[in-house]
Chains A and B, each alone.
Chain A
Amino acid sequence: MQLEEYIKKTRADKNILLMTHIVLGYTSLEVNREVIRQMVENGVDLIEMQIPFSEPMADGPVIVKANQEAIETGTKVRQCFDFAAEMTAAHDIPFLFMTYYNILYQYGVEQFFKDSKKIGIKGFIIPDLPPEEGEEFFRLSREYGIDPIMIYAPTSTEERMKYLAGYGSGFIYCVARKGVTGKQTDFDKDFGSYMKRCRNSTTMPLAVGFGISSREDVETLVGIADIAVIGTKTIKVVEEEGIDAVGSFISSLR
C-alpha cells in the first residue's frame, strides 16, 4: 500500500531511512512544530506522532514522563488531530499516529480512522493491540487505506512473525530488544539472528527501534533494516540542549 511504496521509492536514493518519534503536547505543540520543522529540513523520512495516554505500558521513563506532562498541561486528542492536520499540510513526508488502543476506543474507532484519513495520516502504531483483539481495527484499516504497522519482538517466533505480517501493511516495526523504550541496545549476535528471522518472515520494509541514539547505531542497521527509528533520544536532545539542537542532531545521524 501507500507507505510501502514510498519507502521503497525513497530507499532507492538512501541506504537507510530515518523515522523520528515525538510526543504531541510535550513540552507544547509549539515546541513540536519547531522540532518537526527541523527534523524535516534535516532529512527525516517519516515521523510518528504519539498521542499521549495516561497508561503508556510499553514506554520507558523518558516517554512516560513526556506523556504524563503533555496530559497535565491539557493536551486533548482533538488538538492532536488539528495539529497533525497542520503538519501533514506543511510537510511533504508521511506522518503516522502512535498511541494506545484506549485513545481510539474512546474517540470511536471508526471516527478515528475517518478523521485520520481526512488529514492525511498514513499509518497507525498501536503497541497494545495484537491481531487477536483488533478485528474491527484491521478491517477498518483496509477500508480506509491507513497502514496498520505490526510490531515484531525478539521473543516472536518466525511462525508468529508470519502471522503478524498477514495483518499488517506499510512496514514492520522491529523492536530491537526486550524491555521498554529508551534504554541502550546491544547489537549482538542474537540481534543478527533476530533480524534474519524478521527478514525471512516478510517482504515488507523493516524498521528498527528502541535504543537507537547515534550515528554508529544507524550505521549498524544499514543493510539490515530499511528504517532506523529515533525515539527517546530526540526528546533527550530537546530537554538537554534545547530545540535548536534537533537539526544538527538529526543531520549527524547519517
Chain B
Amino acid sequence: MTKTGYYGNWGGAFIPEVLYETFRELNTAFEQAKKEPAFWQEYTDLMSTYSCRPTPLTHAENLSRHFGGAQIYIKREDLNHTGAHKANNVMGQGLLVKRMGKKRVIAETGAGQHGVATATMAAKFGFDCTIYMGEEDVMRQRPNVFWMEKLGATVVPVTSGSKTLKDAINEAFRDWVTDMDDTHYVMGTVCGPHPFPEMVAWFQSIIGMEARKQILSQFGSLPSRVFACVGGGSNAMGVFQGFLDDADVELVGVEAGGKGLESGQHASRLAGKDGSAGVAQGYKTMFLQDGDGQMCDTHSVAAGLDYVGVSPILTDLWEKRRVRFAAATDSEVMDALELTMKKEGIIPALESTHAFVQAFKEAGQLNEKQAILINMSGRGDKDIFTIANAFDDPSWKEFIIGKGAEYAA
C-alpha cells in the first residue's frame, strides 16, 4: 500500500464526515485484531465448528478427462454453512463486532447470500439485524428473503436508483450515518472505503491458505492457473492470496459477460473496454459509468456479479498484470453448469459457474501433468428458482403453476 487504504492508485476512504469517528474506531479494532494470533485462532476455531472449514479440494476427474488437458481441482466453498464463501467474512466481522461491543448489524445484499449469511451470524451472536436489498432483487430472490426473515432479520426493500446491489449499499450507508453508535455495517465484499477491502480480504484469505496446502498435498505441486469469478471480488481475493507470491501460478478473474461484452448488457469492469476510473460508494476503482460519472445499469444472470464496481485490490493487481481478467456470458454459464452437474454431480452457483466457463476454455491448452484450480464460491441448489428459470425448465414451471393454484384456492 502506498498511502493508507490504497492499492497502487486504487481504494481510499471517500466517506462523509459524520462517519469519520466510526471508521477510526473500526480501523483501530481491526488493526488490533490483526496483531493478535488469538483472534485468528478464535476465527478458525469458529469456522471449523460452526461452518465446514477446511472445505475440501475435489479432483474433478471426469471433467479433466472430458477436456483432455490439465487436472481440474475444485475448491469447495459451497460446503460452507449457508452455502457460500460469504460465511467466512461474515463470521469474522461478527467476532469483530463482539469486540467493539456493538449490538446491531446491517448489510447490503444482491442475490441474498450475504444477507442470509449475515442474518445467520446475527442470530448466533444475538445481534439485531437489518438487511438492505434492492426491490428488484427481493422479487428475484424470494427464498433468500424468506430465510433472512425466519432467521430474525428485518429485510428492507430498496426502491431508489436501479433497485439493485449498488442501491442497497447506498441505503446501508444511509442507515449507518443515522445510527453508527451501536451499529456495524457488515460490508459483504472487498469493496467500499478502507478498511473494508483489506478486512474482507483478510477473512477470505483462509480459502487460499487451505487451497495451497491442499493442492500441494493432493497433486504434489502448485496449479498452473487459478480461476475465480469476480463480482465485488471477495472469493477471488480469498483464493488468489494463497498464490500471489507464486509467480508461476497464473491468476484469472472471470467477470459477468451477460449478453456479451459488445451488448452493453454485462458487468465486466476490467475484462471489457467499458470500465473507467471513478469514485463512488466510498472508494476509487474501475466503474461502469457514463462520461458524466453517472453509474450504469449492469446485467448478469448471476445477481451476485451484477455490480458496477470491483475491488480496488483486484484493480491494482489487474493494472500490474498479476491477475488476468476474462468474461463469461450468460449462455456459456448455463452450458458449463449443465456439464458440471452431469459429469461431477456438483451444482455450482451461477456466480461460481463463471469461473468454470473460463477454466473449461483453457483446460485443453495444458497437459495432464499440470493442474488448474477453480474456486467454487457457492452452491447452486439453493438458487433453484433462478436456475430452473434460466434453464426454462417446463416441468418446474408446471410445478410452480400448480403450487400457485393451490395457494390461490
Contact string against B for A residues 156-174, beta-carbon threshold 8 Å, 1 for contact and 0 otherwise: 1100100010000000000
By a CB distance below 8 angstroms, the chain B residues around A65 are 160
Q: Is the CB of B180 within 8 A of A155?
A: yes
Q: Is the CB of B160 within 8 A of A155?
A: no
Q: Which residues of chain B (260-282) have a CB below 8 Å from chain A?
A: 276-282
Alpha-carbon distance between A18 and B307 when the two chains are bound, in angstroms: 40
Alpha-carbon distance between A77 and B292 when the two chains are bound, in angstroms: 6
| Contact of A188 with B by CB under 8 A | no
By a CB distance below 8 angstroms, the chain B residues around A68 are 160-161
| Contact of B170 with A by CB under 8 A | yes
Binds A, one of B17-25, B30-38, B45-53, B130-138: B17-25
Binds B, one of A32-40, A56-64, A230-238, A242-250: A56-64
User: Min CB distance, A80 to chain B, in Å?
Assistant: 9
Q: Is the CB of A180 within 8 A of B17?
A: no
Cβ-defined partner of A55 (8 Å) among B15, B17, B281: B281
Closest to B179 in A: A178
Contact string against B for A residues 137-170, beta-carbon threshold 8 Å, 1 for contact and 0 otherwise: 0000000000000111111110010001000000
Q: Is the CB of B174 within 8 A of A156?
A: no
User: Min CB distance, A171 to chain B, in Å?
Assistant: 15
Chain B count of residues within 8 A CB distance of the other chain: 35
| Contact of A44 with B by CB under 8 A | no
Q: A102-B280, A128-B279, A178-B180 are in contact. Are A164 and B295 (CB under 8 A)?
A: no
Alpha-carbon distance between A180 and B19 when the two chains are bound, in angstroms: 12
Cβ-defined partner of B14 (8 Å) among A53, A56, A129, A155: A129
Q: Is the CB of B161 within 8 A of A160?
A: no
Q: A57-B281, A105-B293, A128-B279 are in contact. Are A175 and B18 (CB under 8 A)?
A: yes
By a CB distance below 8 angstroms, the chain B residues around A192 are none
Alpha-carbon distance between A71 and B280 when the two chains are bound, in angstroms: 16
| Contact of B85 with A by CB under 8 A | no
Q: Is the CB of A105 within 8 A of B21?
A: no
Alpha-carbon distance between A100 and B281 when the two chains are bound, in angstroms: 10
Q: Is the CB of A57 within 8 A of B170?
A: yes
Q: Is the CB of A55 within 8 A of B161?
A: yes
Q: Which residues of chain A (40-57) have a CB below 8 Å from chain B?
A: 53-57
The winner among B4, B13, B18, B161 for most chain A CB atoms within 10 A is B18
Q: Is the CB of A101 within 8 A of B16?
A: no
| Contact of A120 with B by CB under 8 A | no
By a CB distance below 8 angstroms, the chain B residues around A215 are none
Alpha-carbon distance between A131 and B375 when the two chains are bound, in angstroms: 39
| Contact of A106 with B by CB under 8 A | yes
User: Min CB distance, B239 to chain A, in Å?
Assistant: 29
By a CB distance below 8 angstroms, the chain B residues around A157 are 21
| Contact of B209 with A by CB under 8 A | no
Q: Is the CB of A58 within 8 A of B293?
A: no
| Contact of B244 with A by CB under 8 A | no
By a CB distance below 8 angstroms, the chain A residues around B12 are 133
By a CB distance below 8 angstroms, the chain A residues around B279 are 100-102, 105, 128
| Contact of A92 with B by CB under 8 A | no
By a CB distance below 8 angstroms, the chain B residues around A130 are 13-15, 17, 20
| Contact of A91 with B by CB under 8 A | no
By a CB distance below 8 angstroms, the chain B residues around A152 are 17
Q: Is the CB of B14 within 8 A of A180?
A: no
Alpha-carbon distance between A209 and B82 when the two chains are bound, in angstroms: 44
Q: Is the CB of B170 within 8 A of A55?
A: yes
Q: Is the CB of B16 within 8 A of A57?
A: yes
Q: A55-B170, A71-B294, A103-B293 are in contact. Are A128 and B15 (CB under 8 A)?
A: yes
| Contact of B2 with A by CB under 8 A | no
The winner among A56, A64, A160 for most chain B CB atoms within 10 A is A64
A sample of 14 cross-chain residue pairs with beta-carbon separation below 8 angstroms, ordered by A number, consists of A54-B161, A101-B279, A103-B292, A106-B293, A128-B15, A130-B13, A154-B18, A156-B17, A156-B18, A156-B21, A157-B21, A164-B17, A175-B17, A178-B179
Give B residues with C-beta under 8 Å from A: 4, 12-22, 160-161, 166, 170, 173-174, 177-180, 276-282, 289, 291-295
Give A residues with C-beta under 8 Å from B: 53-58, 60-61, 64-65, 68, 71, 76-77, 100-103, 105-107, 127-130, 132-133, 150-157, 160, 164, 175, 178-180
Other A-B pairs beyond A153-B18, A155-B21, A180-B177, 19, CB < 8 Å: A54-B161, A55-B170, A55-B280, A64-B161, A68-B161, A77-B292, A101-B279, A102-B279, A102-B280, A102-B293, A107-B292, A107-B293, A128-B282, A130-B15, A132-B4, A150-B17, A151-B17, A155-B180, A160-B20
